[in-house]
Amino acid sequence: MKDALGIRIQNLFKSFPKRDVIQGLNLNIEPGSFVSIVGPSGCGKSTLLRLIAGLESPTQGELQLSPQPPSSFSFVFQEPNLLAWRTVYENVALPFELSGALKLISEEDKHTRIMNSLKKVKLEEAVSLFPHELSGGMKMRVSLARALVSSPQLLLMDEPFAALDENTRFEMQNQLHQLWQEERMTILFVTHSLFESTYLAQRILMLKGEGAKLALDHKVDLPFERTEELRTSESLNRIVRLLSERLRE
Amino acid sequence: MKRYLPSFFSFLLLTVFMELLVRQGAVGESLFPAPSSVFKTLGELHGEFRQAFFETLLNVLAGLGLSVVFGSLIAFIFSLSDLLKKSILPFAIFFQTVPIIAIAPLLVIYFGFGSPTVIASSFIVSIFPIIANTLMGLESASASQKDLFRLYQASRFQTLVKLRFPQAYSHIYAGIKVSAGLSIIGAIAGEFVGGGGLGAMIDSARTQQRVDIVFGVLLLLSLMGLTFVATLALINKVILSRRPFASLPQE
């Protein structure tokens, strides 16, 4: 397992032609932590994630990943983003075909890593299926397996479970938390759901208002192991209430 | 097979109806021949019809083949550069909007009588749907799919081959299907001025007032078009049974 990545953001600005989305954001993310980002629509959560992934360039400011590159990170989108004409196995293998750094890995090692990734998301039996033969939850698990296949030090997730039904979402949340406990990569998880963010994360960041102001930086004081009972516990609900109040202020 | 039965029966019904109309004298045979006399002519002149049919077929296949190769190639090149697309696409639209019959005499001057003119005419008429559809297909990948490829630092060639081209499959197929029909129209227009094939046969029948020959040719042209569509559908089915490409038209 590679070292998890930390993120240091200093005085970050991002402007689009008609809007300043992020204005002077400062943030430190500890390596190996599970951090969720919440906030109203359009507050800059996804833009922040895209800036960290390098899909957008900052207008001004500094964004550092440590340890310094070569570092590996993966991105899980809101849609599974699977290629319809490729099997589950081939979709998970995609990073090996595209990324220059991953191409150097031997074929045998690639196969082992693909199968391990699929095992982690409990899809080793579905290798030869095509995306149209999978349920919504299975598609999202393939997307997660594809993100994990490169053993990322940082996992960026942009509302990955938003389109799933409640049962599947709970199942995926438990699976993700267990994966994080085993792998201890840094996870940055954007969500609209206050329950989801509280259940999953160690730390919750709330972005709000013009320019993605950091309205709240809350350390989640819940047992390390996430159990189903925790979902309805008073301790979790108390945090959700606090977040909800802050969001409405 | 079952789904083709309604069209088969409606064709049969129409044939019988036309036969009765002509026999009862409701329609003059000089305007509309009885289907039986069309089939009789097809039998009597089968040698001429066969030769003309295969001549046209070869020209159509050559024109359509060139359209597929060059149309796809042009679309690939256009998709790589917006500037190129903006500067050259209007010319492709010009070929689409100017009636082929207006350009055909020029083709005879450039290529002479015979096959080269017919192939060029078929090519000009059928290339535009392939360029337009392939181009639309190549640009149909979603923003998040493109982001995924950017994240893994895929080269432009990798993105083209592994994302944009497979994503464009259904558009390319639809373009070829439209072009298959157009290539026949283009070839017939070319044969009117360049000579040879079924087009010349229609032209010669016109001068002799032989509507039965004209209808015989029309029947053969319909058969050619249907064979093209059926062959393409079969190829599409075989490809799809192996790879389920995105957003496919159901047939």
pLDDT at residue B248, as a whole number: 46
B153–chain A Cβ distance below 8 A for any pair: yes
Residue B74 lies in a domain: yes
B241–chain A Cβ distance below 8 A for any pair: no
Share of chain A above pLDDT 90, in %: 65
Residue B193 Cα distances to A185, A197, B120, angstroms: 73, 74, 12
The pTM assigned to this predicted structure is: 0.84
Is A85 within 8 Å of B246 when comparing Cβ atoms? yes
Residue A2 pLDDT greater than 70, yes or no: no
Residue B59 lies in a domain: yes
As a whole number of angstroms, the distance between CA A182 and CA B222 comes to: 66
The predicted-structure confidence for A146-162, as pLDDT tens digits, reads as follows 999 988 999 999 999 98
Ranked by mean pLDDT, the top range of A6-10, A208-212, B95-99 is: A6-10
**Which of B145, B158, B166 lies at the smallest CB-CB distance from A98?**
B158
Share of chain A above pLDDT 70, in %: 98
Q: Which two tokens stand for residue A235?
A: 């301790």
pLDDT at residue A146, as a whole number: 95
Residue B19 lies in a domain: no
Residue B147 lies in a domain: yes
Residue of A nearest to B166 (CA): A85
Is A53 within 8 Å of B151 when comparing Cβ atoms? yes
CB contacts < 8 A (A, B): 50
Is A81 within 8 Å of B158 when comparing Cβ atoms? no
What sign for the dihedral angle of Cα A161, A166, A167, A171?
positive
Q: Which residues of B touch A94 (CB under 8 A)?
A: 152, 162
The predicted-structure confidence for A17-73, as pLDDT tens digits, reads as follows 888 899 999 999 999 999 999 999 888 999 999 999 999 999 999 998 887 666 688
Q: Which residues of A touch B243 (CB under 8 A)?
A: 85
Residue B26 lies in a domain: no
Question: Average pLDDT for residues A133-147, to the nearest whole number?
Answer: 93
Instruction: List, edge to edge, every strand of the sheet that includes A19-29.
Output: A19-29, A6-16, A60-66
pLDDT at residue A187, as a whole number: 95
Report the DSSP pairing between strands A154-158 and A186-190.
parallel
Is B151 within 8 Å of A100 when comparing Cβ atoms? no
**Could you tell me the residue range of the domain that residue B87 belongs to?**
52-196
| Residues with pLDDT less than 70, chain B | 1, 246-251
Residue type, A153: Q
The predicted-structure confidence for B164-199, as pLDDT tens digits, reads as follows 999 999 999 999 999 999 999 999 999 999 988 999
Place of tokens 């699977």: A82
Residue B34 lies in a domain: no
Residue of B nearest to A131 (CA): B244
- CA–CA min distance B239, chain A (Å): 11
- CA–CA min distance A144, chain B (Å): 13
pLDDT at residue B251, as a whole number: 43
Residue A120 pLDDT greater than 60, yes or no: yes
Domain count for chain B, please give it.
1
Q: Which two tokens stand for residue A129?
A: 């299926």
Reference A41, options A197, A247, A216, A183; nearest CA is A247
Beta carbons of A37 and A25 less than 8 angstroms apart: no
- CA–CA min distance B245, chain A (Å): 5
Query: Which CATH number covers residue B71?
Result: 1.10.3720.10
Place of tokens 């026999």: B23
Is B162 within 8 Å of A130 when comparing Cβ atoms? no
pLDDT at residue A70, as a whole number: 60
B150–chain A Cβ distance below 8 A for any pair: yes
Q: Which residues of A touch B151 (CB under 8 A)?
A: 53-55, 74-75
Residue B209 lies in a domain: no
Residue B113 Cα distances to B65, B73, B196, B207, angstroms: 21, 28, 9, 20
pLDDT at residue A31, as a whole number: 93
**Which of A77, A95, A99 lies at the smallest CB-CB distance from B144?**
A77
Cα dihedral A238, A240, A241, A244, rounded to 10, equals: 160
As a whole number of angstroms, the distance between CA B229 and CA A58 comes to: 52
Q: How far apart are the first and last CA of chain B?
A: 13
Residue A1 pLDDT greater than 60, yes or no: no
Q: Which residues of A touch B147 (CB under 8 A)?
A: 50, 55, 75, 77
Is A98 within 8 Å of B244 when comparing Cβ atoms? no
Residue B2 lies in a domain: no
